[in-house]
Amino acid sequence: QTVVTQEPSLTVSPGGTVTLTCTSNTGAVTSSSYPNWFQQNPGQAPRALIYSATNKHSWTPARFSGSLLGGKAALTLSGVQSEDEAEYYCLLYSGGSWVFGGGTKLTVL
Amino acid sequence: QVQLVQSGTEVKRPGASVKVSCKASGYTFTSFGISWVRQAPGQGFEWMGHINPYNGFTDYAQKFQGRLTMTTDTSTTSTTTFYIELRSLRSDDTAVYYCARDHDYVWGSWGQGTLVTVSS
């Protein structure tokens, strides 16, 4: 059974840069894992940010970018703003099903 | 614009069934599949399965095989409604259930979520 792991929490200063990562216990995360990233604010539905590891949706702010980095999927926020404080989830395709990471609570402080 | 609007809160007894709907509008329905996902209180997300409205093909997570049914109702040309039915409910099925549009491994818009509470 695939387990997807993310940092439980990260803290970043306003204007700073932070990278969130997503790993799989089955091996390296690759483009064939079709990584998707989502942002969720308390009490709200998730909002899709990134698909296929690096591609942004039309509504995704330019400060968000996705990559594959050393066998992991990564989400980088550059020039962080206070409204970026939220929970972030990655999603990987593995063994014919989708598996979510446990989420990263991002604090902007 | 793409909209996915889900049905309202449900409270069910253990052993009962629940059916949640997701009304889609603003795009060509047959071109995009729908996945259903749930999030237990204070927990992460769990993928439940996917339906392809073009051919009705469904793909359920192994955990839910035999207890889950996904269907589609294309009643008008401007909207279509997706349904998920979960049977033999248990207390650990208490969660917010979401529909989300996904196609070719690209996840996009989500519904607002439906809280299902299972309690005696």
Of B90, B91, B84, B93, residue with least CA distance to B60: B84
Which of B4, B45, B59 should be substituted to probe chain A, the one whose Cβ sees the most A Cβ atoms within 10 Å?
A: B45
Out of A38, A52, A101, closest to residue B105 by CB: A52
On chain B, the residues whose CB falls within 8 A of the CB of A36 are 105-107
> Does the beta-carbon distance from B44 to A100 stay under 8 Å?
yes
State the pLDDT at residue B76.
65
For residue B30, what pLDDT is reported? 81
pLDDT (tens digit, 9 = 90+) per residue, B51-92? 998 888 999 999 999 999 999 987 666 789 999 999 999 999
* pLDDT > 70 in chain B, percent: 98
- Which residue's structure tokens are 């889609």? B24
> What is the Rg, in whole angstroms, of the alpha carbon atoms belonging to chain A?
13
Contact state of A51 with B111 under an 8 Å Cβ cutoff: no
Closest CA to A81 of A50, A107, A46: A107
Q: Is residue B25 over pLDDT 90? A: no
Query: A52 in helix, strand or coil?
Result: coil
CB contact under 8 A, B98 and A46: yes
d(CA B72, CA B66): 18
Token duo for residue A29: 């995360």
Q: Are A108 and A9 in contact, with CB atoms under 8 Å apart? A: no
Give me the tens of pLDDT residue by residue for chain A, a chain 109 residues long. Answer: 899 999 999 999 999 999 999 999 999 999 999 999 999 999 999 999 999 999 999 999 999 999 999 999 999 999 999 999 999 999 999 989 999 999 999 999 9
Give B 92-111 residues with CB within 8 A of chain A: 98, 100, 105-111
pLDDT computed for residue B77 by the predictor: 65
Q: Token match 């729908």: residue?
A: B34
Adjacent-strand bridge partners of B83: B21, B71
Record: contact B106-A100, CB cut-off 8 A: no
User: Which residues 14-73 of B have a C-beta within 8 angstroms of A?
Assistant: 35, 37, 44-47, 59, 61-62
Residues in chain A closer than 8 A to B113 (CB atoms): 45
Tokens of B29: 């329905």
Residue B37's Cβ-side half-sphere holds a number of Cα atoms within 13 Å equal to 26
Nearest alpha carbon to residue B44 among A89, A57, A66: A89
Residue given tokens 């306003």 in the structure block: A14
User: Residue A98 and residue B47: Cβ atoms within 8 Å?
Assistant: yes
| pLDDT band, very low/low/confident/very high, at B26 (cuts 50, 70, 90) | confident
Both structure tokens of B98 = 């979401």
CB contact under 8 A, A57 and B112: no
Q: Considering chain B, what is the average pLDDT of its residues?
A: 93
* Contact between chains at B105 and A47 (C-beta distance less than 8 A): no
